[in-house]
Amino acid sequence: MAKEKSAKKKDDWTKTLTRVFVVIILISCVLGFSLTLGFFSIFKSAADGSGIVVSYTIRDDSGVAVLSSDDTVIQNEVLIAGASQPLQMVIGQNYTDFIVPIEVYMYPNGWNTYAFFEPELTTIADEAKGMHEGDAKTVLFPFGETMTREMTAEQYGLIGGNYSETAVGMWIPLGFAPQPEVVLDNETAPETVATRMSKIIAKDNNTLTVQYGYASADITINQLI
């Protein structure tokens, strides 16, 4: 009888060990599968149709940071426009409007609608092809230097500016309608107007030349979706 009980206990113990072993094997398989997926995700690169989350810093032709979602830049550089969340986009997507509004925190006014341009977003997406998560690069906007507008002293006054106080190198806010179109007075302003910081690059007795295009973007791929 004692032998039967001993044999039964041994059999129960063997079954318990077998269950524990099976559980350990299953956990190992799950962990191994997850690690394998993580390992192979290193080699995944952005391509047409890829969803990407991009941290960025927009700069002018002198390297000044205009707009950024990069925490390091936000903490250590003076931003002309403000800070925003990283961009989320799909490589190859088509934008129906030239102006693509995003939300930007502009001190001291708080959150505002900011004018991003379709060529800027398209260039960032195109240049992201082949990049992996964590990769970083500088993307050039060669079209930025052509994005200028002349404004008379009267027109500048219509948007609340004081012409006598302006100087080359100053940044001023301009309002852009979706067409795009610089909004010069409240009477013709459409319902949707996005702000964009623009730099005065020339001035004479009655005319300002304002550049609203930017030179480049420093980008980092935060995530591939």
Least confident of 29-43, 75-89, 157-171, 172-186: 29-43
**CATH number, position 86:** 3.10.50
Confidence of residue 191 (pLDDT cuts 50, 70, 90): low
Q: Given 3-state DSSP classes, what are the helix, strand and coil percentages for the chain, each rounded to the nearest 5?
A: 30, 35, 30
Domain match, 7 and 68 both:
no
Confidence of residue 44 (pLDDT cuts 50, 70, 90): confident
Domain match, 78 and 116 both:
yes
What is the per-residue pLDDT for 18? 46
Domain match, 52 and 38 both:
no
The answer, yes or no, to whether residue 176 has pLDDT greater than 50, is yes
Domain match, 18 and 66 both:
no
Confidence of residue 225 (pLDDT cuts 50, 70, 90): confident
CB 59 within 8 A of CB 215: yes
pLDDT in tens, 206-215: 999 999 999 9
Domain match, 74 and 18 both:
no
What is the value of pTM for the model shown? 0.77
**How far apart, in Å, are the Cα atoms of 116 and each of 85, 108, 113, 215?**
13, 20, 10, 13
Cβ neighbour number for residue 51 with a 10 Å cutoff: 13
Give the HSE-up count for residue 52: Cα atoms under 13 Å, Cβ half-sphere.
Answer: 32
**Average pLDDT in the 89-111 region?**
91
Domain match, 37 and 137 both:
no
Domain match, 15 and 115 both:
no
The answer, yes or no, to whether residue 13 has pLDDT greater than 50, is no
What is the per-residue pLDDT for 184? 53
Domain match, 153 and 111 both:
yes
Q: Which structural domain, as residue segments, surrounds residue 176?
A: 47-225
Helix (H) and strand (E) counts in the chain: 4, 13
What is the per-residue pLDDT for 39? 47
Number of domains in the chain: 2
Domain match, 139 and 201 both:
yes
**Average pLDDT in the 121-127 region?**
96
What is the per-residue pLDDT for 109? 84
What is the per-residue pLDDT for 6? 52
3 state SS of 210? strand
The answer, yes or no, to whether residue 11 has pLDDT greater than 50, is yes
Domain match, 3 and 73 both:
no
User: Which residue's entry shows tokens 């989320």?
Assistant: 88
What is the per-residue pLDDT for 47? 93
